[in-house]
A and B are shown apart, each in its own frame.
Chain A
Amino acid sequence: MTTTVAPAFTDTPLEIGGRVFRSRLMVGTGKYKDNATMVRAHEASGAEVVTVAVRRVNLDRTKEDGILYHLDPSRVFLLANTAGCYTAEDAMRYARLAREAGFNEFVKLEVIGDQQTLLPDTTGLLEATRQLAKEGFKVMAYTNEDLITALRLQDAGAVAVMPLASPIGSGMGLVNPYHIRVIKSRLSVPVIVDAGVGTASDACLTMEQGVDGILMNTALAEAKDPVAMAHAMRLATEAGRAAFLAGRMPRREIAVPSSPTTGMLA
Chain B
Amino acid sequence: MIAALPRLHAVTDDRVAAAPDLVAKATAMAAVAGQDLAVHLRSRALTGQAFVHTARALAAALHPYGSWLVINDRADVARAVAAQGVVTGRGGLVPADVRRVAPAAVVGRSVHDAAETRAAADADFLVAGAVFPTTSHPGATPAGLDVVRTAAATGHPVIAIGGLTAARTPEVLEAGAHGIAAIRALWDPVDVAAAVAGFLDALPTVDLVDVEINGEPRHARRGITLAELLGDLSLDARAVVVEHNRHIVRRDTLGTVRIADGDRIELVHFVGGG
Q: Which residues of A come within 8 Å of B, CB atoms? A: 28-32, 38, 51-57, 59-63, 65-69, 78, 80-81, 83, 96-98, 100-102, 168-169, 195, 215-218
Residue picked from A57, A60, A61, A195, most chain B C-beta under 10 Å: A57
Cβ-defined partner of A81 (8 Å) among B63, B79, B266, B274: B274
A residues less than 8 Å from B270 (CB atoms): 52-54, 66-68, 78, 80, 98, 101
A residues less than 8 Å from B171 (CB atoms): none
Closest partner residue, chain B, to A56 (CB atom): B214
Q: Which residues of B come within 8 Å of A, CB atoms? A: 63, 79, 82, 104, 213-216, 218, 233-236, 239-241, 243, 248, 250-251, 266-274
Is B273 touching A96 in the complex (CB atoms < 8 A)? no
Is A68 touching B273 in the complex (CB atoms < 8 A)? no
Cβ-defined partner of B274 (8 Å) among A28, A65, A66: A28
- 7 A/B residue pairs, CB under 8 Å, sorted by A: A30-B274, A54-B241, A56-B266, A57-B267, A83-B274, A169-B274, A218-B274
Is A55 touching B251 in the complex (CB atoms < 8 A)? no
> Which 6 A-B pairs give the minimum distances between C-beta atoms?
A53-B273, A217-B274, A28-B274, A29-B272, A52-B270, A30-B272
Q: What would 6 more interface pairs be, CB under 8 Å, given A63-B239, A67-B270, A100-B251? A: A60-B63, A63-B234, A67-B269, A68-B239, A100-B250, A215-B274
A88 CB to closest chain B CB (Å) equals 16
**Roughly how many angstroms separate A98 CA and B236 CA in the complex, as a whole number?**
16
Contacts between the two chains (Cβ within 8 Å), count: 103
**Roughly how many angstroms separate A169 CA and B272 CA in the complex, as a whole number?**
14
A residues less than 8 Å from B266 (CB atoms): 56, 97
A residues less than 8 Å from B213 (CB atoms): 59
Q: Tell me whether A57 and B272 are in contact in the complex, defined as CB-CB below 8 angstroms, given that A63-B104, A97-B248 are known contacts.
A: no
B1 CB to closest chain A CB (Å) equals 13
Closest partner residue, chain B, to A53 (CB atom): B273
B63 CB to closest chain A CB (Å) equals 7
Is A53 touching B272 in the complex (CB atoms < 8 A)? yes
B residues less than 8 Å from A30 (CB atoms): 272-274
Cβ-defined partner of B248 (8 Å) among A68, A96, A169: A96
Is B273 touching A59 in the complex (CB atoms < 8 A)? no
**Roughly how many angstroms separate A88 CA and B250 CA in the complex, as a whole number?**
23
A218 CB to closest chain B CB (Å) equals 7
Q: Tell me whether A56 and B268 are in contact in the complex, defined as CB-CB below 8 angstroms, given that A62-B82, A63-B239 are known contacts.
A: yes
**Roughly how many angstroms separate A61 CA and B104 CA in the complex, as a whole number?**
11
**Roughly how many angstroms separate A60 CA and B272 CA in the complex, as a whole number?**
18
B residues less than 8 Å from A67 (CB atoms): 269-272
Is B233 touching A66 in the complex (CB atoms < 8 A)? no
